[in-house]
Amino acid sequence: MKEMLLTSQCRVIFTKVNGEERNMVCTLREDIIPSASKDPITQKKVRDISEEVLPVWDVKAEGWRSFRIANVVSFICD
């Protein structure tokens, strides 16, 4: 999924932790994601990186979101 998100916009339908279903258009394309506004060297690590959760840029909400890979119902890229 991550490899596809690096080159495409994808529609992901997944079940949220609270049981609701979410439909999101997202990407990891560098030309769509806005530049970081702070120096990454000075940023604190907020949480541990998890192989189970994929952080993505939500194209419609214009913000970072994440989903659990195990909870994906559908994954379609353009």
Domain range list for the chain: 2-34+51-77
Terminal Cα distance for the chain, rounded: 13
**What gap in Å lies between CA 15 and CA 70, rounded to an integer?**
9
pTM over 0.85: no
**What gap in Å lies between CA 37 and CA 77, rounded to an integer?**
28
The fold of the 2-34+51-77 domain, in CATH, is SH3 type barrels. (2.30.30)
- Could you read off the pLDDT of 25-67 as tens digits, one per residue? 999 999 999 887 665 555 555 556 678 999 999 999 999 999 9
Q: What is the mean pLDDT of residues 10-38?
A: 93
Q: What secondary structure, in 3-state letters, does 8-58 show? A: CEEEEEEECCCCCEEEEEEECCCCCCCCCCCCHHHCCCCCCCCCCEEEEEE
Contact yes or no for 2/62 (Cβ under 8 A):
no
Q: What are phi and psi of 19, to 5 degrees?
A: 100, -15
Q: Is the pLDDT of residue 76 over 90?
A: yes
